[in-house]
Amino acid sequence: MKISLRWLRELVDTDLDGAAIAKLLTMAGLEVESRTVFGGFSGVIVAEVRGKKPHPNSNKLTLVDVWDGREVTQVVCGAPNVPEPNGERGAQARLVLWARPGATLPNGMTLAPKEVRGVMSPGMLCAEDELGFGEGHDGILIFSGDEELRPGDDVASKLNLPDEILEVNVTPNRADCLGHVGIARDLAALLGKKLKVSPHPNDTAQTGAAKVVIEDAEGCPHYSAQIIEGMQVLPSPLMLRLRLQSLGVRPISNVVDATNLAWLELGQPVHAFDYDKLAGQMIVVRRAKAGETIETLDKQTRVLTDEDLVIADRDKPVAIAGVMGGASSEVTAQTRRVLLEVAYFNPARVRRTSARLGLHTEASHRFERGCDPNIVAHVSDVTTPRIGRPAGMRTDVYPKKISPRTIALRPARTESLLGCEIPTARQREWLSRIGLTVSGSSDKLDVTVPTYRPDLEREIDLIEEIARLEGYEKIPVTVPRLQVVPEPMESSTSERVRDLCAGLGLDEIVTYGFVSPKQIAALGFPNDTPEARPIRIANPIREEQSVMRTTLMVGQLLTLERNQKRGASDVRIFEVGQRFLPSAQKDAVLPTERRMLTATLAGRNGGWLKPGAELDFFDVKGLVEELLDSLGHSAQFVQPQDETVSWLHPRIFARIEIGDLFVGVIGEVHSRVLKHFEIEGRAFAFEIDLDSIHVAPPAVSQDLPRFPAVTRDLSFFIDAEVSAQKIRQTFQTIVDPLCREVRVIEDYREAGKVPTGKKGMLWSFTYRAPDRTLTDAEVQAAHDKLVGKLKETLVVELR
Amino acid sequence: MSCVFCVGKGSVNGALCRTCKGSGWIEIGGAGMVDPTVFGHVDYDSERYTGFAFGMGIERMAMLRYRVNDIKLFYEGDVRFVRQFR
Ligand SMILES: [Zn+2]
């Protein structure tokens, strides 16, 4: 919310400068995010256009005679909208702003007399952007003389410029601070000053000139309508226009500007209907009929549901209550009578309609946070004379009276919660300064909260107010006694894995848990798998982040693509994070969360063994072996014949297993998937479910061998299809305590040396006993057993 | 805490400091007393127990430690950024 310092000073007497006020508000929970100067110029005066003629050397320029109250001077002007000295609106609008030589503009420029196409110009006539008032540069600023400004007046001193604009970050609970008076109330409280506003009584119902029917009192507890006549739709006086512009609101006309002033001042949205365009000259507040449509002020046709609250005339909706007015009853230059609506709408209903329509306005922003239901009459009464004359009495329909609530506060509770002494009198003082009424004794106060503070509902809320106003920085500092709890096992696993991956040369990334359903679909999971059915977020901010990831691959591929687009093609990334799968149990409330390690590699191999070579499957497989080995597991890579992984190449992939346990997959990313993510070249990936593996306990030290080992080799031909893994498994079925190590030494397949379809292998076996030197016979016996087992299980040809 | 980029001044070489948006301060976390309603949801008697909760944004801490001036960099996974912190 933009707040004018000048306006604040009109509401609270203070000599403090902008920086000091910003600090006070910030420390009290109204964070001032920025301060900017508005109207920082000097030497600009009001001048009246007395004559004009074309520039002799240019048809785009005009020579304008301006009068500064004493004499007439000729100024060159390039704007197309120089007013006619004797034009139709006459003296009504021929005042302009003249920056004379010596004037300084907000951009720092100081004006000097200047020749423009052969004619001297003493300064210039200003457009609004040149004075920092707004963006407009279509022409010079023109205004009429029926206000305080006279030719010759210095604009800055007359309009009390420059002003300072504070951008205040109002938290959602502080609906009362969405207007200047609310902020000023807190500032006055902090300074111990009086808030300069006239008090008004709480609202009551009354019957006036306008005909109003409320059919949905739950949606609209309070509605007031005032008919206003005797008005002319004109631009507002310059001072008001600038006040609106300084707060980022575009001036439109005196009627619209007056409605905007109401929310800027009191936080209460107000709407003006062209009374003569309301069919039946009546207002009906009701639920929309399903499918009913309305063209809103932004020229969009909106389809409504019966959940939406509308303001209707006899025939049709003329506004979406609390959100936006309708085009059919918009105030125009021809409007002669206005029906001024000031109302209190149900915050939840406004929020739902605004969210459903994606229509967020200044009005909905305030109504959905909660306006003051008892300020309605006051706002109507101050706004009406800014527009015209009241035609009869205001109609107030107030079917659901909302009264101030009373909350009990124990001053001792305040002290025990805040951990410091705050005398009861001081607690009372703070609460009354923000407009609360306090009575009762010192062990229990009865605090009545005005309806402009719907956020104060409980004792704790009052304590918060006291803490905030007293100042959090005044609460003494004590160091709490804390108990140290060991780090949970699962987080230390993740840490280990991260360190290991980084040590293996991978770069860690962090990506979002919310992803696009389209990207999940692009991975092609079969429909019956949980991965294909991601959990949808209840209120997604945008469709691209509307479901929870069922795989970390989406983030991996998006990151790979982003890196490639930015020119980094050698990418080796990993992420450790949760994935979220719909629970297999029907009545489960929560999804199944699994901690995953997922990595993707593309480009060239970074290793020193074969630098510059393109990555292949075996590089990545080696990485996984290394990683799991470091965690105390030996990985097996199983290539099932009858199974595929939707996002991996149908043949270049494997299941990663530890013992009997399936822990992940590895492979080349499917070209169809790469194409969807616009990734160049090949990419390899693996994912491991970290929740399914445990980190092996620390190794237990063994005595070093004191007796020599004996090595036996075994050379054979075997079917090329039989993997080393399979052969090793065969040896492992014989558990011979003497056999300490089994290794592959050679695997050769050169034609001519090996029978067709076979491969030659050389394996080495190490035998040792812990307590003696083995005899030849002992070694031979153990070795024969292994060889026997091999021949019995697989077809081998010993050499 | 005081902004590390502009040393709390709000501007760097005359230009508005991007990190603190000119305020001279950067938010690194939040803290406060636990709402009694929250205790109610987990069957704690809020008359007997009070709680103080605080937390720091991990990105904020990293930004201070490594003088990173844009929080988005942490989530983009640009390897040229990530590799600076081996
Ligand atoms: Zn800074």
| Three-state secondary structure readout of A444-476 | EEEEEECCCCCCCCCHHHHHHHHHHHHCHHHCC
* Cα distances (Å, whole numbers) of residue A107 to A75, A129, A130, A291: 21, 10, 8, 52
Distance CA A1, CA A30 (A): 10
d(CA A300, CA A323) in angstroms, rounded, equals 13
Whether B32 has a pLDDT exceeding 60, the answer reads: yes
Tokens read off for A470: 């007293």
Residue A477 located in a structural domain: no
Burial of A255 (0-12, 13-18, 19+ CB in 10 A): buried
Kindly list the residues from chain B whose CB atom is less than 8 angstroms away from the CB atom of residue A572: 79
Residues A270 and A283 reside in one and the same domain: yes
A486 prior amide bond cis, ω within 30? no
- The answer to whether B78 touches A562, Cβ cutoff 8 Å, is yes
Q: How many folded domains does chain B comprise? A: 1
The verdict on residue A371 lying in a domain is yes
> How many helices (H) and strands (E) are present in chain B, helices listed first?
4, 4
**Cβ <8 Å between A512 and B75:** yes
* Cα A647 to Cα A550: distance, rounded to the nearest angstrom: 13
- Residue numbers of the domain that contains A123: 42-158
Mutate to test the interface with B, among A417, A510, A575, A600 (most CBs of B within 10 A): A510
Q: Residue A222 corresponds to which amino acid?
A: H
Q: What is the pLDDT of residue A414?
A: 95
pLDDT at A610: 59
Evaluate whether residue B11 is within a structural domain. Answer: no
Q: How far apart are CA A533 and CA A164, in angstroms?
A: 53
Same domain, A291 and A222: yes
Can you give the CATH number for the domain in which A738 is found? 3.30.70.380
What does the pLDDT read at residue A147? 64
Q: Which residue of A has its CA nearest to B76?
A: A559
Examine residue A697 and state whether it is found in any structural domain, yes or no: no
Task: Give chain A's largest Cα–Cα span.
Answer: 129
List residues, by chain if needed, whose CB lies under 5 Å from ion ligand 1: B 3, 5-6, 17, 19-20
Q: How far apart (Å, rounded) are the C-alpha atoms in residues A310 and A306?
A: 10
Q: Is residue A8 part of a domain?
A: yes
C-alpha of residue A170 to centroid of ligand 1, in Å:
22
B65: domain range?
28-83
Give the Cα separation of A280 and B14 in Å (integer): 62
Judge if A569 and A680 occupy the same domain: yes
Q: Which amino acid is at A335?
A: T
Q: How many domains does chain A have?
A: 6
Q: Which residues of A touch B35 (CB under 8 A)?
A: 460
User: For the whole model, what pTM was predicted?
Assistant: 0.73
Residues A577 and A669 occupy one common structural domain: yes
- Label residue A527 left, alpha or beta by phi (over 0 means left) and psi (-120 to 50 means alpha): alpha
Q: From the CB of residue A457, how many other CB atoms can be counted at a distance below 10 Å?
A: 12
Instruction: List the CATH number of the domain containing A454.
Output: 3.30.56.10
Low-confidence ranges of chain A (pLDDT < 50): 89-90
Rounded to the nearest whole angstrom, what is the distance from the C-alpha of residue B84 to the centroid of ligand 1? 23
CA A384 to chain centre: 38
| A563/A569 Cα distance (integer angstroms) | 7
Alpha helices for A434-552 (secondary structure H):
459-470, 489-503, 517-522
Do both A274 and A236 map to the same domain?
yes
A632 exposure class (CB count in 10 Å sphere: 0-12, 13-18, 19+)? middle
Phi-psi sector, A183: left (phi>0), alpha (psi -120 to 50), beta: alpha
User: Helices H, strands E: what count in chain A?
Assistant: 19, 39
Q: Are residues A667 and A716 in the same domain?
A: no
CA distance A756 to A341: 94
What span, in angstroms and rounded, lies between the C-alpha atoms of B26 and B56?
A: 12
Tokens of A78: 């390039």
Chain mean position to CA B44: 30
Q: What are phi and psi of A128, to 5 degrees?
A: -65, -35
Report if residue B64 sits inside a domain. Answer: yes
Confidence at residue A90, expressed as pLDDT on a 0 to 100 scale: 47
Question: Based on the number of CB atoms within 10 Å of its own CB, is A115 exposed (0-12), middle (13-18) or buried (19 or more)?
Answer: exposed
Residues of A in contact with B76 (CB under 8 A): 559, 562
Please choose, from the candidates A11, A15, A17, the residue with its C-alpha nearest in 3D space to the C-alpha of residue A189: A11
Q: At what angle do helices A254-266 and A238-246 cross, to 10 degrees?
A: 50
For residue range B3-30, what is the model confidence (pLDDT) as tens digits? 877 888 888 888 888 778 777 888 888 8
Domain end residue (candidates: A363, A397, A431): A397
pLDDT of residue A462: 97
- Give me the pLDDT at residue A322, please: 96
Q: Considering the domain boundaries, does residue A202 fall inside one?
A: no
Contact (CB, 8 A) for A104 and A87 = no
Residue A321, in any domain of the structure: yes
Quick one: which H or E segment has residue A440?
strand A437-441
A266 and A373 in a single domain? The answer is yes
Q: What is the pLDDT of residue A203?
A: 85
Are A772 and A669 in the same domain? no
CA of B11 to the centre of ligand 1 (A): 6
Of the candidates A508, A511, A563, the beta carbon closest to that of B78 is on A563
Write the CB contacts of B84 (distance below 8 Å, at least 6 apart in sequence).
Answer: B66
How many C-beta atoms lie closer than 10 Å to residue B38's C-beta?
12
As given in the structure block, the two tokens for residue B3 are 């902004």
- Distance from the Cα of A263 to chain B's closest Cα (Å) equals 27
Supply the DSSP string of B15-29, one letter for each residue: EEPTTTTTSSB---E
**Comparing C-alpha atoms, which of A267, A277, A326 is closest to residue A300?**
A326
B-interface mutation test, from A173, A407, A460, most B Cβ less than 10 A away: A460
Collapsing DSSP to helix, strand or coil, A118 comes out as coil
CATH number of the domain where residue A609 is located = 3.30.930.10
* Per-residue pLDDT, A146: 61
Q: Do A467 and A508 belong to one domain?
A: no
Residue A90, Ramachandran bin (φ over 0: left; ψ between -120 and 50: alpha; else beta): left
Length of chain B: 86
Q: How far is Cα A535 from Cα A221, in angstroms, rounded to an integer?
A: 38
| Distance between Cα B72 and ligand 1 center (Å) | 17
Q: Give yes or no for a contact between B77 and A511, defined as CB atoms under 8 angstroms apart.
A: yes
Residues A32 and A48 in one domain: no
Q: Identify the pLDDT of residue A84.
A: 84
Return the SS3 of A528: coil
Residues of B with CB under 8 A from a CB of A: 21-23, 33, 35-36, 50, 52, 74-80, 82-83, 86
The closest alpha carbon to B30, from B52, B51, B54, belongs to: B54
B2: CA distance to ligand 1 center in Å?
Answer: 8
Yes or no: say if A254 and A365 are a contact pair by the CB < 8 Å rule.
Answer: no
Q: In angstroms, rounded to a whole number, what is the distance separating the alpha carbons of residues A390 and B22?
A: 47
Residue A610 lies in a domain: yes
Q: Please report whether residue A667 resides in a domain.
A: yes
Domain check: are A452 and A527 in the same one?
A: no
Shortest CA distance from B51: residue in chain A: A417
> Residues B50-62: what's their mean pLDDT?
88
State the Cα torsion A69-A74-A79-A81 to the nearest 10°. Answer: 50
Taking a C-beta distance cutoff of 8 angstroms, is the pair A83, A144 a contact? Answer: no
Token pair 């305030």 is at which residue? A366
Q: CB of A125 within 8 A of CB of A48?
A: no
Radius of gyration of chain B (CA): 18
Q: Calculate the CA A404 to chain-centre distance.
A: 34
Percent helix, strand, coil in chain A (nearest 5)?
30, 30, 40
- Mark whether A565 and A662 lie in a shared domain: yes
Structure tokens at A599: 């990595």
Provide the mean pLDDT of chain B. Answer: 86
Question: How distant, in Å, are the alpha carbons of A84, A769, A777, A778, A786 from that of A774?
Answer: 120, 7, 8, 6, 17
- Whether residue A460 and residue B35 make contact (CB cut-off 8 A), yes or no, is yes
